[in-house]
Structure 1
């Protein structure tokens, strides 16, 4: 049985044990807000300004890199609407990768479009969240990731 994760000094994880989130959003304000919320909830955060940067960080971009960084990422949190490559396309690339297909991907969007939400969930997204994210959303996210790790 899992204990609930109460925020407080005793629940702080060491830096190595922190859940590492790759947060992808083309909007700098949204990216900073997401980073702040994640850090407040004891996540380690890496940000990317677009899907291509995220793929490169994960080692599945144009130039295949080793996946040593990717193996340290526990979750990808990505915006849906981004220029060049959408969050949905990023989700598909991650799920097509033999090394990363088990990685949870959460899609965020400021638009509540049921067909878009269903399409992302059918393709393997862990969750679909509406922006702007709130601290309560991050707590839900943390619970989802912790469930997967145990």
Structure 2
């Protein structure tokens, strides 16, 4: 999962998007970090959804990843799912629960170009946000 935000724990002082990459695989986190850094993104990584919520200032135990991708506190954060599981029912569920995009691993440079365009489309002048999840 990758998130970018300028509020709730992430301060953006630059124009480049700040992306939070969340994946249980260290190798995948490093790959995502390298690919996004090459596209002028500031990247922070965490190993699970709970750590991501804590990073966003929502780790108080009242928020659960399993509730929905789009709880009221997270509603403004665009979500892009990046997964190795190409299961149509899972893809459909992710999109129904609020993800804007579903991409398959391994993430490629061409996917990052698409993500960058996606990030800029959802960016507000003062707070661009993007999440990608496993």
**TM category, shorter:** 0.7 to 0.9
**2:60, 2:77 → 1: CA distance?**
20
Question: Residue 16 of structure 1 aligns with which residue?
Answer: 14
Structure 1 residue 126: Cα displacement = 1.4
Aligned residues: 112
Q: Which residue of 2 aligns with 1:127?
A: 101
Q: Deviations over 1:41-61 (max 9, x none)?
A: 111101001111001001111
Structure 2: runs of 5 or more not aligned: 1-12, 125-134
Specify which structure has the bigger relative contact order, considering alpha-carbon pairs within 8 angstroms and separated by 6 or more residues. 2
TM-align CA RMSD: 2.2
TM-score by length of 1: 0.68
- The match for 1:5 is none
Hey, which of these two has a bigger chunk of helix by percent? 1
Counterparts of 1:109 and 1:143 in 2: how far apart (Å)?
20
Aligned pairs for 1:1-150 (under 5 A) are 16-62=14-60, 89=66, 92=68, 95-98=70-73, 100-149=74-123
> Which of structure 1's runs of 4+ aligned residues deviate more than 6 A?
none
Report the TM-score, using the length of structure 2 for normalisation.
0.76
